[in-house]
Structure formats: C-alpha cells, structure tokens
Structure 1
Amino acid sequence: MSIHRRFSVLACASAVSIAILATGCSNQQEQESKVAKQAEPSAANATVGAEAAQIATQASLKDGSNPFFNTWDTPYGVPPFDDIKTEHFLPAFKQSMETHLQEVDAIANNEQAATFDNTIKPLELAGADLTRVAMVFFNLTGTESNADMQALQREISPMLSRHSTTIQMNENLFKRIKTVYQTREQSNLNAEQLRLVERMYNDAVRSGANLEGEARERFAAINEQISSLTTSFGQNTLNDSRGFKLVLEETDLDGMSQSMIEAASATAEAQGLKGKYVITLQRSSVEPFLQFSNRRDLREKAFKGWALRGDNDNEFDNKKNVEQIVKLRAERAQLLGYKHHSDYVLSNTMAASPEAAMDLLLKVWDPAVKQAKKEREWILEQMAAEGAKHEFAAWDWRYYAEKVRKARFDLDQGEITQYFELNNMLEAKFYVAEQLFGLTFAERTDIPVYNPSVRVWEVRDASKNVIGLFFGDYYARSTKRSGAWMSAFRTQQKLAGNVKPLIINNMNLNKPAEGEPTLMSFSDATTLFHEFGHALHGLLSDVTYPTLAGTSVSRDWVEFPAQLYEHFIAQPQMLKKFALHYKTNEPLPDALIERMKKASTFNQGFATVEFTASALVDMAYHKMTKVDSIDVRAFEDKTLGDYGKPEEIIMRHRSPHFGHIFAGGYSSAYYAYMWSEILDSDGFNAFVEAGDIFDKQTADKLYKYVFSTGDTLNYDEAYKSFRGRAPTTDALLENRGFKQ
C-alpha cells in the first residue's frame, strides 16, 4: 500500500504528468528552464520562511483563513485558486499528514480480525485531506513555479517520503493487509476487490514492508534521499532552461515563418524586450527554429543550449544528481531482493522483464539506424546541391531534413501549420470523443482557475450526466515546466460517493500576439490528441476504488489509450472537417493530405533513433548492479557508441534533463512508449478493419475494456477482449516505415 499511488495522477506524451513523490519517484515528466542565481532563496531566507509558516499554521487553525481547512464552496468542489496562497501549503500538509497517520493507526490497531471491510476499505478512504492538498500543490509546482514554491517543494518532498515510509513500515498494518491477501479467495470478494487486495499487498512488499532491522532503516533513508534528489533534479532543469534565451534582431529572422516571428516577438515583449525576438528552450519554440532558421550560427547556439540543459557545470548542474539517484535506486532494489532497479520496475509491468523490453527496443533500433543512415545520405545530397561547405552537424539535421522533405514530397511544414489552429483542434478532439463515447463538452467561465489562460469544460456523457471537468492549459510561460502532460486535481471513485474527476491537460504552445491565432504544427496537434487520450482515460474511469482509478496503471499500458487517440487526427475525414486555413477557413486540400500521407514515414529513422537512444540509456543506467561513480557524458557516449548510434543524432532527452526517469515515474520504463505503440498501432487497425473509424461496436469495446476500467483488469486480457486477439508488431513497423 504505497502512498505515492494515491497521488499518482500522471500520464504524458513527451513525457510527463504531475504526481507526488512520496517514495522518490516523482511525477511524470520533465521539468525544464534557468532562474538567475539571485532569485534562489538563501538558507537564511528558507529558515525565515519555515518560521513564518509555523506562525501561519497556528493563525490558520484559529481563524479558518487557510482554504485547505475549509469546505470548498465552488462548482464541483474545484480548488478555490484565488484564495490559496503559498503559505497555506505547509500547515495544510502538516495537519493532513497528522490526520492521515491517526486514520492509519486506527486501522492498524483494530483488535478485530482483519477483513476487507475493516482494513482495505478504510485504507482507501484514509488520507483524503492529504491527497487534496498534494494534488493542488504538485500541479502548481509544475505550472506556476517560483522561488518560494521551489523552496517549499524541497522542504515538503522529504516530509512526504518520511510520512509514506512510516505507513509502509507499520508492522501491524502490513500484518492485516497480508491476512486479507492470504484469505482473499475465501472472502467472497468481487473481481475489483480481489484486484485491489492483490495490488495493495504487492505494493506494500515492493515498498519494503517485509524488511527488518537495518535493512528497513536503510530503505527508509534511501527513499528520503531519492525524494530530495529527484526534486532537486526537476528544479535544476527548470531553472537552467529558464536562464537561456536567444535574443534575435530583425536581421536574424531569415527563414522563420510569420507565426514563428510573432510568437518570438510576443515572448520578447513578455520579458521586457520590446522590439526584439526571443527563442526559448521550450520545445515549441526551439524545434521550429532549428527546422527553419537560415542562420546556422544561431541554430548552433539554440541546439547547444537545448542539448546542455542541466549540464552546464553551474549551480543547476544535474550530473551528480544522476549519479546519486542511479546508485540509490540500485541499492534499494537489491534490498528488496531484486538484481537491479530495472528488474524491480519491470517485474510489475506488461513487459515483465528487462529482457523483454530490450528485445523490443533492439528489434526497432536496427531498422531505425539503417533508415537514419539513408536519411543522412539524402541530407548530404541536399547540402551538396546547395553548395554547403561546412561539415554536417547535429544542429543541421532538422534544417536540412525539412529541405529534403520539401524537395522529395513537395511538403512545406510552414504551409501545413496554417491549417492547424488551436480552437479548431480542440473542437476536433472533442468531436472524436463524442463520436466514440457520446461525450459532450460545454465551456464554463465560472470555474476557478490558477492562471487566466486556463480554460475549463464541463463534460457530460450520452445520458447528459456530468462525469467531470476538463481543464486545458496550453501555453508556455516561464513558471511552467516544459513538455506536455495530463494530470488531475481529483480522480474518479465511488467509494466516497460519486466522486467526479477534475482532469487537466498541459502543453507548451507559443502564445501568439494579442488577437492572433494560435497556429500549431501537425506534431503539436498530434500531441494535443495524445494528452486528451490520457484525459479521457481519467474522465471515463468507472471504478469503485481510488487506487485502481483512471491512469493509475502500468507504465506500458498507460500510454496505449493516449497513443491510440493520436491516430484520429491523421484520418482524412478529420483533416477535411477540422484542419481549416486560419485566414480563409478553407479545408486542407486533398492534394496536401495526400502529400502528408506519403511523407508520414519520412525522417522516422531520425525520430526513432532519437527516442530509442534515450530508452537504451535509461535501461543501461538501471540495469547496473554496482554503482561507484558515473561520468554521465562518457556513459551516454559509451552506451550508444556500442549500439552504433549515428553521430549527428543525439538522445531525445539527455541524462541531465531526462525528467521522465530522474524527476518522473518512467525510470527503466521509457521504453513504455514504444511498447504501447505496438498496442495502439495494432489496436487502431480494429477501426480500420471495421471500415469506420468511429465504428460503434469497436468503440464500445474500447470503452469497456480500456478507457473505463482503470487497473481493474489484467492488461493482456483487457487488450485481447478489446481486439479479439493478442497484438502483433507488424502495424508498428509499418507505421514507422520499417516493414520490409
């Protein structure tokens, strides 16, 4: 019964979603950007802040001014964001942790024989106040971060780790859980209850409940250290990235589209640089610049800034954090009787073993490298045709690949972008949900939000019943971590009543100038659909027990529904209906759709090598059994050199900013995106084979066995029930253009 499960509400595309790190595996995802050193709180200020928080605690308890001590009289019980201040969190955490321990002690010390109803059920209800506080706090640290919030996070994360360990190591509690587990088959439990008991017992064992003496104490110490290190890692990445900005003049804009120029201008103006243009290390800013800017010197600066996040030998450097986290994870796994961290993590997934995960990665790696070498030759031919005299380098790949794409397929990404406007794409993803599941979305402007740019929709099912709220936070800002992710302010359950989920999607699109449309690449539109697939996984959850709800599933299953949802935006009938030119409102021309289809596997060698390189390094770190010291750069080079990685392609996420595995829940599990791609590629073909992308019978099975079930079913059986058979890798290889 690992407490962090209660807070794990994440799922992400580029990686990541927000979870709480009670046991050192924070949440999903990547936190990226750099703050000036003077913005960091000093030790003295931190002490003053702690003293002030203690005073605030006492005052809040007396006058009720702390919103976390009150009932939220808001629509659907949404957090009253305008009333919540930074100083409210610490007293709320402290009091809710104390209440939680009292609830757990009452369960553990119950003199009656342990049963599902007097042990498992009350454990599921315990800690509700703490969950409420934590979900608000950790969502805001990912979206509204500042020096005060970061200082508070550094204080709270180890507190939560200690709190979690106290519960996990409660011997009386574990004895009761174990008794219920051992008698489960004779207890007339239903299928969901059986699943919950088995998961709760396994989580307890994996969280060290069986350890004794020094091993138990060491396990607790390791968890607390990892919690602090992963928090530091995420904050360093955010701060280091935030400190980089490439300031451009009018003469530096050659090759950039008008929408890129307007976005760079808006970013500059927001930073007090009126008349200038700024490129940041947000992917939505730097990637298009690397694709289109004709200034090779500036592309090099942008690329190196991007590649070296967390690796600049400054106060935000993460290389030592990487070494310490890997070392501690290996030791923790061995305390539990596993060979290494990868063995520990994957024993609880669909893959089941590191060998199975590696088999998949290498099955894709070899054809990807072969294809990437072919793409490299095309680029060299393009460079020669243009008379380029410089050597081909990593910061040239996206730029020349774009030229090759245009030459070979008559496909201009700048032209495509004009047809993908945010509001139209929001309508598109809602339309798919309506066609598949009968959902409708009505925007509400009376719901509290934590930032003015956040939008909220009320979601109803086919019977017009409200099933939850959906929050959309789509724009990049300096207080927000990079990437795209799904999270929640509240997850679905029925145990405490008909609790409706409050689900949020985050992206980092460039905010345009006032009055201008938000244009996005087709890749951004695909990410929008991906994250909404995660959101639907949370919104459509229909289970009784919170531990089993929504996206609280295995890493290599959680990406399946999201990646399957991506397929819908690529379908011609969807493009004709929603990909409308932002000026003329004309639909995407058939000829352009056909060119997009023909080019759909172009540069997949590069993209697959970039991704798989990160997954291979992740596995290499976490298959280590003895860790003395790690030279991070040398480790990456050695690992990928052994696999024959092309020199001009770097990891999609280099170790010092690889938030998925060092500040999120994907350690030794980054392969999961590829594993899930087997499922989504094969799974979407069920609609294709039915002759209708919204085939009702197929959609009903998708709802019944995937989107609504949370963690109540065996994943392999759930997939077979949906698809009618086990998945094959054929569709994955075909979609990436690797099938011979």
Structure 2
Amino acid sequence: MNPELTHWTGPLGLPRFDLIRDEDFDPAFDACLKLAEEAVEAIAASPAPPTFDNTVAALESAEEPLNRLCAIFFTLAGVDSNPAREDLQRRIAPRLAAHGSKVSMDPRLFDRVEAVMQDADELAPEDCRLTELTLRGLRRAGAGLTGAARERMAAIRERLAVLSTEFAQNVLADERDFTMSVADSDLAGLPDWLVRAMRAAARERGLSGQIVTLNRSLIVPFLEYSEKRALREAAWRAWCARGSGQGAGGAATDNRPIAAEILQLRHERARLLGYADFASYKLEPEMAKTAENVEALLTEVWAAAKARADADAAQLTGMLHENGVNGALEPWDWRFYAERRRKAEHDLDEAEVKPYLTLEAMLGAVFDTAQRLFGIEMRAFDAPLWSPDARAWEVTRNGWHMAVFVGDYYARPGKRSGAWCSSLQQQHKIGAGQRPIVVNVCNFTPPEAEGAPAYLSWDDAHTLFHEFGHALHHILSDVNWPSMSGTSVARDFVELPSQLFEHWLERPEVLDRHARHAETGAPLPADLRDRILAAGNADQGFATTEYLESALVDLAFHRGEPPADPMARQAEVLAELGAPAAIPMRHATPHFAHVFSGDGYSSGYYSYMWSEVMDADAFAAFMEKGDAFDPETARRLEQWILSKGDSLPADELWLKFRGRKPGVEALLKGRGLLAEAD
C-alpha cells in the first residue's frame, strides 16, 4: 500500500498528492478496510467489562487509517474526477456501506455502549455527550434489529450507497459534456468580461470562439445579459435537463428512476426502525424535530416570498411586452429582465462592479474579517496539491498553529459543480491531538490568462464568504473527540456559521478596505458601494421562492408514503403552492444533489432557512452593540458556537450565545420581505 494515503508527509501534515496514483487506491481500500474491521472486532469481542475508554473512546480512533484514505479519495473524486476514479467510486461505495452496516449494527457494540451509558452520570460532560451520541447513532443505524429485518437494513444501506453515487456521477456527466457555441453575431448584450470568460472556457476545451457551459458562474450571467431569447431558452433548458434523461448524456444519465428507488428505500429504512416515514426519522435529532415545525417555518416565509414574486412577475412581464415579445414571462426571461430592472432602479451594472471584486481582493476581505473577529492570521505556503489552481495557507493565532486551509476556486472539467467545505483532517485531542485541515471548493470563472485577475460576481463573493464561514467552524473547533468536532452538528445548525459570515461582506468598512479596482488599485467609490448594498435585496422574491419550492418538495418527498413517480409529486406540490410558472425550483428532482447524492440534506434542505433565522438574529447581536466587529460578541460567538462542535445540543449552544430563541422577523427584514409578510 502506498504509505502516503494514510501517513501524510507533505508540508504541515498535508498529503503529498503528487505521490498518489489512481492505481494506489484499490489495494489501499483492501488494507484499510481490513485494519478497520480488525480494530472494531477487538473492541466488540473484548472480554473486559465495558468502560468509556475501552469502548466509546476506542471507537473514535478505530478506523483512523480508513478515514484518512476516504478523505483523500473523496476529495479527489469531487475536485478532479476521471473515469478511473468514477469506476472506483462505484465499486467502493457498496463495500464502505457494508462495512458501515457491519459496525453500526453490531449488537455486541450496542450492548457495550449501552452498558457505558448506564453510568454516564459519572463521566465528564463531553464524554457523556459522546456516549449518548454513539448510542443514538447505533440505535438509528439498526443495531437493535434482528433476523430478516437486520439483513434487509444492511442491504438497503448498500443499495443506497450505489444509487447515490450513480446519481452524482450522472449529474456530473451532464454538466461536463454540455457546451453551447455562441456565434460572434449572437453576443448582443453580453458584457466584455463575460465574453472573455466564454472564450476562455472554449480554449480550455480545445474549442474555438466562445461557449456557454453549465458552470453556474458562466450560465447565470449569460441568462442575465444575452439579448438572444432563443439562446437563453436553449441554455436554460440544458441547465434544467441535467440528470433528466434529456441532458447531454441522454438516457444513460437519467436520474428519475434512481430518485424514485432512493425514496422507496429510505421509507423502508425508516419503517424498519419504527418511524412513520423518513422525515420523522431524519428530523428527530435535528433542531426542528418534526416535519410540522419545518413546514410551519417554510410556509410562513412562502407567503411573503410569493407576494413579492407575483408583484415582480407582473412588472417583468410588462417589460417583456414593451420589448416586443408577446406571451407569458418564461423562466429564461426572468433573470434577463430582472437584471435590466436592477440596473434601471439602482443604476448598477455588473460590468462596473466586477473590477473591484477580484478573487484576490475578496480573499483579502475574507481573511481580514476573520482576523478582526477572531485574531487568526493566514500565511500562504507551497504544497503539492491536486491542481495548480488549489492553494494552501497555514492558519495561526498568536503564533500557535490552528489549521491548514486549502482553497480550490476555479471551475474546470471533471470538477463537481457548486461550492462546498470539507475536511481532510478533523480537530481532536486524542493523544497528542491534531488540528484540522480544511478545504473550500468553488466553481468561479477562471481568469482569461495566466497572471490575469479572476473577477467575481456579487453572488460569487457571497459564496466565498459562506464557505469560509464553514471553514471557521473547523478552524476554531476545540473539542476532545473527532466525531463531534467542527461541522459535525445538527444539519439545521451547520449553516449558521456560514450564512452568518456572509453578513460581513456587506459591511461598508469591509468593502471600503478591500474592494480595489483590478487595474488602477482605486478603492470602490462610495456611491457605487451604496448602490451595490441598496440592490442587495433586488429580486429576493425570485431567490426566496425558488429555494422554498425545492425545500417544500424535498419535505413532501419524505413525508408519508414515498411517491412512485417523483416528477409527478414534484409537479403536484408546486401546483398546490401556486408556484409562479416563471420561477422553477432551484434544484429540480433529477439534479437535486443535496437530497439524492447522499443523505446529508435529504428531508433537510429546509436547513438553510432554519439557520438563516438564527444567522440574522446572530448578526443583530453585533449590531445591537453598534459594532460589526464587537470583540465581546465575537468572543461569545467563538465560545458557544464555533468552538463547541456537537459537544452540546444545538439549541443549548444557541441559547448560551444569544440568551433567547430567534424569531423569523429578522430573516424577513434581511431579505426585504417584511412588508409583504405584514
């Protein structure tokens, strides 16, 4: 086995990605799975009476080599996929699921952890919490099942692992394989920076001219600016066709039957464990607790969002007709006319803004904000990573090593779309302890040429802040056990740090310091800054509505009996909501990776809004002090939210930070929807 896969020798403990080959992974998984099985078996079969140390604590490190191997492989599968990695991912998914089932459904482990729990009052608070979480995890995995039910649960978990892998790879294939050429005669309305980005995308693929791809940072501005309605429609349809059997991959990448089978298996899994449906099972450990609580929040905001969206639709339809186009406002029209309206109402042109929002300038803003709030400093260093695009920084505070941070920011073929934060290494204090290695991945449009600046949109800049908010949750983690460190928290709590950190992008003092013109170095003019901020809630009816549609469809999929035809159920839910025809779901079922590429956000896509209720109220705590960088509030935020992981229940951590429950009013006000709610 290549030792670099489990014993990392790169700078500051990073893996040496330059020493790792695709053919190394098969024997490494064989070896690491064997080691993990032996380590867990030794715990389960131990003749010694169960104690916290020989059972619960021992399980925390029993699979460390396998965890390190998985961290490397699944990072590469996301940021730099290729046929060999995709093949291995399909083959290894059921093996990992089978191993997970064997461990988490072992009745011997369940009995030992349950025995430790009997004396939990004698344990230190964090040890007691870990024992409680471990026992809950075993119970929810099916450790209490016997006979045929036990065998069926293991089979379900293996099949779900296969299906979720296929779903994700089908979406990636459709995204990777689609390009739409745009002739020189069809560039009307497109700003120069977008045309240059389209030409760079063509060169990257060995093509001439300019193309549109399904990279969000390319296709969204194309939909906003292109005056060629037929091209907008073609691009939009390709974007929405991902995973539907109508995308670039055709029937081979049709995710609709996969989604249907996933929903059926999840329901069966929940029923085996005694729950009424998958939503009841999934939401039990979350802050929301029940589907009824989720629905209450989403429908309260829906009324305000739809009122705004309907009013906006009427105005945009008028603009469409004034432009000589008869008929209804279509989804491929909305962004185009909304951008024209934004420009007219706020005198704001993205081409005027982009030179001030370079990636380097916004990284400076992100790092400086984190330093002013939490005292951390970032030092770039050279490391052998998976792509020349990826960069590494050491994070320190008062000279003490806090973490390694890796950023991979540009879109490229073979890279999963979207943006995410992951970790190669979790913080913990076992033995000598270890600090985290955190990864932020985005898909921004790369610079036109080597050495040229990369320009971000306002939305891109928000994404940069958002993902670093997740990174801070890892960087500032200070708990004993890896399974409860960093972002290992309730799903509807995990977005609080990320969404909260976005607020600092909109602070005038941050923009004044960091938004500098790429060519002249001049600061962002005050009047332009004020226009950017004034336009911050432009089109919130659209943004909130498309999100809520996805969240409510996700919830409906997992309540009660699963639909035999998810597409029909999706249409039914949208009809019941009275969803505007020109605002489709943000993530339609065939490419709803949050929900179907694993269990992470299944029955949990609502969590972004649940967390937003808290992030709006958390930022209000700073503003009540009259200072967005108030040191005492920042200290409490780190003490009770960012450093605690899952060492206490999320609702307790929130109350310790804020002193009261949050209300939806701050969210509605922040989105500019309060008037509609009233």
> TM over 0.5: same fold?
yes
Instruction: Say if 1:496 and 1:234 are closer, same or farther in 2 by CA, change over 3 A.
Output: farther
Distance (whole Å) between structure 1 residues aligned to residue 36 and residue 177 of structure 2:
40
Letter in 1 for 2:374: F
Q: 1:522 is matched with which residue?
A: 458
Within 5 Å, give how 1:17-166 maps onto structure 2.
60=1, 65=2, 67-68=4-5, 71-166=7-102
Q: 487, 511, 531: which one pairs with 1:575?
A: 511
| Shift in Å, 1:97 | 1.0
Give CA deviations for 1:177-197 in whole Å, capped at 9, x if unaligned: 111112212xx2111111101
Q: 1:349 is matched with which residue?
A: 286
| Shift in Å, 1:599 | 2.1
Instruction: Say if 1:73 and 1:516 are closer, same or farther in 2 by CA, change over 3 A.
Output: closer
Q: 380, 384, 387: which one pairs with 2:317?
A: 380
Within 5 Å, give how 1:542-621 maps onto structure 2.
542-621=478-557
| Shift in Å, 1:481 | 0.4
Q: 1:21 is matched with which residue?
A: none
Asked if 2 retains the 8 angstrom alpha-carbon contact of 1:468 and 1:539, the reply is yes
| Shift in Å, 1:556 | 0.5
Q: 249, 252, 255: which one pairs with 2:183?
A: 249
Q: 1:325 is matched with which residue?
A: 262
Give CA deviations for 1:72-121 in whole Å, capped at 9, x if unaligned: 33222211101111111111111111111111111111112111011111
Within 5 Å, give how 1:295-694 maps onto structure 2.
295-311=228-244, 312=246, 314-445=251-382, 447-461=383-397, 463-514=398-449, 515-627=451-563, 629-630=564-565, 632-664=566-598, 665-694=600-629
Within 5 Å, give how 1:112-261 maps onto structure 2.
112-185=48-121, 188-261=122-195
**Further displaced range: 248-257 or 283-292:** 248-257
Asked if 2 retains the 8 angstrom alpha-carbon contact of 1:67 and 1:88, the reply is no
Distance (whole Å) between structure 1 residues aligned to residue 71 and residue 504 of structure 2:
31
Instruction: Say if 1:601 and 1:73 are closer, same or farther in 2 by CA, change over 3 A.
Output: closer
Distance (whole Å) between structure 1 residues aligned to residue 145 and residue 41 of structure 2:
20
Asked if 2 retains the 8 angstrom alpha-carbon contact of 1:378 and 1:404, the reply is no
Give CA deviations for 1:373-427 in whole Å, capped at 9, x if unaligned: 1111111222233333354211000000001111222222232222211001001
| Shift in Å, 1:486 | 0.3
Distance (whole Å) between structure 1 residues aligned to residue 554 and residue 467 of structure 2:
23
Give CA deviations for 1:486-545 in whole Å, capped at 9, x if unaligned: 011111111142211110100001112113211111111011000000011111111110
Distance (whole Å) between structure 1 residues aligned to residue 239 and residue 586 of structure 2:
10
Distance (whole Å) between structure 2 residues aligned to residue 596 and residue 322 of structure 1:
40
Distance (whole Å) between structure 2 residues aligned to residue 588 and residue 724 of structure 1:
38
Distance (whole Å) between structure 2 residues aligned to residue 293 and residue 520 of structure 1:
19
| Shift in Å, 1:634 | 2.1
Specify the SS of the correspondent of 2:554.
helix
Q: 209, 219, 233: which one pairs with 1:286?
A: 219
Distance (whole Å) between structure 2 residues aligned to residue 253 and residue 531 of structure 1:
33
Distance (whole Å) between structure 1 residues aligned to residue 254 and residue 80 of structure 2:
22
User: Mind listing any 5+ residue stretches in structure 1 that lack a counterpart?
Assistant: 1-59
Q: 1:5 is matched with which residue?
A: none
Distance (whole Å) between structure 2 residues aligned to residue 678 and residue 650 of structure 1:
24
Distance (whole Å) between structure 1 residues aligned to residue 384 and residue 281 of structure 2:
41
Q: 1:733 is matched with which residue?
A: 668
| Shift in Å, 1:455 | 0.6
Letter in 1 for 2:223: L
Specify the SS of the correspondent of 1:453.
coil
Distance (whole Å) between structure 1 residues aligned to residue 531 and residue 360 of structure 2:
24
Asked if 2 retains the 8 angstrom alpha-carbon contact of 1:405 and 1:599, the reply is yes
Letter in 2 for 1:455: R
Distance (whole Å) between structure 2 residues aligned to residue 392 and residue 156 of structure 1:
46
**Further displaced range: 685-694 or 402-411:** 402-411
Asked if 2 retains the 8 angstrom alpha-carbon contact of 1:505 and 1:532, the reply is yes
Specify the SS of the correspondent of 2:373.
helix
| Shift in Å, 1:66 | 5.2
Give CA deviations for 1:128-166 in whole Å, capped at 9, x if unaligned: 000010000001100110111101000000000000111
Distance (whole Å) between structure 2 residues aligned to residue 692 and residue 551 of structure 1:
27
Asked if 1 retains the 8 angstrom alpha-carbon contact of 2:313 and 2:329, the reply is no
User: Mind listing any 5+ residue stretches in structure 2 that lack a counterpart?
Assistant: none
Letter in 2 for 1:288: P
Specify the SS of the correspondent of 1:557.
coil
| Shift in Å, 1:596 | 2.5
Asked if 1 retains the 8 angstrom alpha-carbon contact of 2:130 and 2:484, the reply is yes
Letter in 1 for 2:357: F
Distance (whole Å) between structure 2 residues aligned to residue 623 and residue 107 of structure 1:
38
Specify the SS of the correspondent of 1:555.
coil
Distance (whole Å) between structure 2 residues aligned to residue 591 and residue 541 of structure 1:
39
Q: 1:269 is matched with which residue?
A: 203
Specify the SS of the correspondent of 2:443.
strand
TM superposition outliers: structure 1 runs of 4+ over 4 Å = none
Instruction: Say if 1:720 and 1:66 are closer, same or farther in 2 by CA, change over 3 A.
Output: closer
| Shift in Å, 1:203 | 0.4
Aligned alpha-carbon RMSD (Å): 1.2
With normalisation by structure 1, the TM-score equals: 0.89
Instruction: Say if 1:496 and 1:661 are closer, same or farther in 2 by CA, change over 3 A.
Output: farther
Q: Identity percentage over the alignment?
A: 42
**Further displaced range: 251-260 or 728-737:** 251-260
Distance (whole Å) between structure 2 residues aligned to residue 539 and residue 66 of structure 1:
27
Distance (whole Å) between structure 1 residues aligned to residue 72 and residue 283 of structure 2:
30
With normalisation by structure 2, the TM-score equals: 0.97
Asked if 1 retains the 8 angstrom alpha-carbon contact of 2:550 and 2:587, the reply is yes
Letter in 1 for 2:171: T
Distance (whole Å) between structure 2 residues aligned to residue 149 and residue 92 of structure 1:
14
Specify the SS of the correspondent of 1:173.
helix
Specify the SS of the correspondent of 1:717.
helix
Specify the SS of the correspondent of 1:505.
strand
| Shift in Å, 1:239 | 0.5
Letter in 1 for 2:207: L
Asked if 2 retains the 8 angstrom alpha-carbon contact of 1:66 and 1:84, the reply is no
| Shift in Å, 1:67 | 3.1
Letter in 1 for 2:414: T
Distance (whole Å) between structure 2 residues aligned to residue 377 and residue 410 of structure 1:
21
Instruction: Say if 1:672 and 1:626 are closer, same or farther in 2 by CA, change over 3 A.
Output: closer
Aligned residues: 669
Asked if 1 retains the 8 angstrom alpha-carbon contact of 2:60 and 2:483, the reply is yes
Distance (whole Å) between structure 2 residues aligned to residue 509 and residue 576 of structure 1:
23
| Shift in Å, 1:366 | 1.1
Distance (whole Å) between structure 2 residues aligned to residue 81 and residue 652 of structure 1:
35
| Shift in Å, 1:198 | 0.5
Letter in 2 for 1:438: G
Give CA deviations for 1:429-472 in whole Å, capped at 9, x if unaligned: 00011001100001001x221111101001101x2101111000
